[in-house]
Amino acid sequence: MATAVPILLLSLCFSGIYGNRQNAPRVHLSFKELLETRTVRPFSFSFNTSDYRILLMDQDQGRLYLGSREFVVALDMQNINKEPLIIHWPASTQRQAECRMAGKGEQGECANYVRLIEPWNRTHLYSCGTGAYSPVCTYINRGWRAEDYLFRFVPGKMESGKGKCPYDPRQESVAALISGNLYAGVHVDFMGTDAAIFRTMGSRPAVRTEQYDSRWLNEPVFIQVRKIPDSTEKNDDKLYFFFREKSLESGSSPSVLSRVGRVCLNDDGGQRSLVNKWTTFLKARLVCSVIGDDGVETYFDELRDVFIQPTQDERNPVVYAVFSTAGSVFKGSAVCVYSMADIRNVFNGPFSHKHGHNYQWTPYAGKIPYPRPGTCPGGTFTPGVRTTKDFSDEVVNFIRTHPLMYLSVYPLNRRPLVVRTGVDYRFTTIAVDLVDAVDGRYEVLFLGTDRGTVQKVIVLPKDPSTTEELTLEEVEVFRTPTPVRTMRISSKRQQLYVSSESGLSQVSLHRCGAYGKACSDCCLARDPYCAWDGESCSAFTPATKRRSRRQDIKHGDPLRQCRGFNAKVENRLRETVQFGVEGSSTFLECQPRSPQATVKWLFQRDSAQRRKVLNRDRQVLKTGHGILLKAVRRSDAGIYHCLATENNFKHTVARVALRVLDREIIEALTASDLPGPAHSSAEATPLRGSPPPPPHLVGQSEIRLINQYCESYWHQLSPAQRPKRTNRRHVDSDQIRD
């Protein structure tokens, strides 16, 4: 007999078959579900704006500063919807008209997009905007304390933003305000063709990279900038820029390359050559790749974001970088981690030089002038050099023609920390938190995606050559899914601030209750933020000294951590009753809390018999959501146990008692000549003489219909004809699983 399977069920089946268990988040929450956990606060905008990419945290005042289209906003870091302070900063009507006359404005560019907010001192901020293609900057008075509720422009302090902020709001820029000097990676012209690393303001002269020289910068996209000292000598301090740019090569080489560049903070330009230009600018390639089993190296060439994690040694922070593939055919992302020691070694290595008739890149083999190009004046190796203007012409001319290092910077262990391939999304941003747990300190990665979600990931070392990656959760952080643009993390307040083109959300770093109500669920989650406290899965704080707290991040072993708690869960598991019609299909649902668990079904005729592994491949279709019995037989009646195994821990997830209904009785009950309330349902009652309805899943609606027929038929029988009512079982629809 042919079996009809609903289309919806088929889609359910195949989604389970083809779901990618590897890297699947243990918990996935939609935005609605995330709201129900009360661990997210979307910012409620009372004004019309967009493009919320600029976020600056002020931990001392507890303020989060937001820059968007025509607005600068000061938010409370504890609750971003609590009394925000707002500055409206539009471009003038005249400037907007001039912008449109210049051929802009079709995509809304003729507005003031805030692109820079930097602390000037304890009481003021420095902010810049695109100014409708006429960059403008000003100072903002924020007061001494957040309680002052002071947030306003300083009158008469508007100034040009050229070299500080881009003209075009679609172009990325980065900036850092250090000792009154503003260092920026920015496009400095109206047409957006002149990209430069610029220094303006302060007591030092304005300097920039060489103009229109593709050897220095070739259509760069700036990602991050950070001051990182090289030694205890202050004159050695350098500014590191992270960016991607177009490759100078053609053919099989990548079209885009990721770079790390640097300049000395005390670089004042050259005396006769490179006047008002950097004389210490160098750059090197950042490599993030995986090597396949066939030995082919796959590169993630497009640098997307960089997070620099401070350590106790300020000279050696850890550099986390997010990359994606450059092509449109193969979609993938990776996270690579770099050490400053490796970056410095590359900058201390050979310079790149084009040599030979094919002009191939080779290590420069000639004499390197002194002081070595790229070193800072007055530093550890150049104590007698007072300023870059004292560099010889030989040094200046060398660095002018050799800004690129020959060697590339490879990540730690020469492999990515996290890799995603064959998925329908890319990583866009990253933030990292260091979390102390019972068994050590862990780096927790928060990875934003282009589908508006944030994944929480930890990577555990298994042995010297392999690691174990765990995606703890993935949450949708916006009402309308849009790519994540910017993330800022506050370990102090346990909050993550996430922005996109159309929204801003404040998200807690943990949702321990979402992992489940059992000790085993909490232990298997392996979340450093969470521990079992004897009653529930709750936030873990190292200072709390309670013997009942159970946590095991390294192994996630509930058998060891949850002794005495696991049996309670098994005993509380409720057996559900499900009905199937003989010859029809029936779906038994079982979906473990974790998609990383494997499922095995056991079967027993009755509670007195021993459970056996269900192994009827021809009659049973196994899916990620349960099993489909294609054609139910009388012998299929019994108890089905869904056993989930995760990290070697086995526990029963579902226990279903299947009752098989006789098909002839069901067809008789649904026949049109029987009295009863079924006549009121044209859809449920077949026409006289029509063939019996096709076999289908028995759900709550069908069971209610059967109950109605039974009740009607019971009352029409004479007392003598009625069987004893104690032998009749009424089907409770609440016990049915569709």
| CB within 8 Å of 723: residues ≥ 6 apart | none
Write down the pLDDT at residue 694: 45
Q: Are 318 and 440 in contact (CB under 8 A)?
A: no
In the sheet that holds 332-339, the strands lie side by side as 302-309, 318-324, 332-339, 418-421
Q: How far is CA 243 from CA 35, 192, 478, 631, in A?
A: 36, 16, 28, 60
Kindly report the length of the chain.
738
Phi and psi angles of residue 16, each rounded to the nearest 5 degrees, phi first: -75, -35
Q: Are 304 and 279 in contact (CB under 8 A)?
A: no
Write down the pLDDT at residue 544: 60
Instruction: State the Cα–Cα distance between residues 328 and 85, nearest whole angstrom.
Output: 42
Give 159: exposed, middle or buried? Use CB within 10 Å, 0-12, 13-18, 19+. middle
Instruction: State the Cα–Cα distance between residues 692 and 694, nearest whole angstrom.
Output: 6
Low-confidence ranges of the chain (pLDDT < 50): 1-20, 673-674, 676-699, 701, 709, 713, 725-738
Write down the pLDDT at residue 175: 97
Phi and psi angles of residue 541, each rounded to the nearest 5 degrees, phi first: -125, 125
Instruction: State the Cα–Cα distance between residues 190 and 132, nearest whole angstrom.
Output: 11
Q: Residue 602 has which token pair?
A: 């056991």
In b/e form, how buried is each residue of 415-426, taking b as 16+ CB within 10 angstroms? bbbbbbeeeebb
* pTM confidence score: 0.83
User: What sign for the dihedral angle of Cα 27, 33, 38, 44?
Assistant: positive
Instruction: State the Cα–Cα distance between residues 569 and 587, nearest whole angstrom.
Output: 25
In the sheet that holds 54-58, the strands lie side by side as 54-58, 63-68, 71-76, 85-88
Phi and psi angles of residue 413, each rounded to the nearest 5 degrees, phi first: 65, 10
- Give residue 34's Cα distance to chain centre: 15
Instruction: State the Cα–Cα distance between residues 6 and 694, nearest whole angstrom.
Output: 11
> How does pLDDT run across 125-162, given as a tens digit for each residue?
999 999 999 999 999 999 988 888 899 999 999 999 99
3-state secondary structure (DSSP) of residue 163 = coil
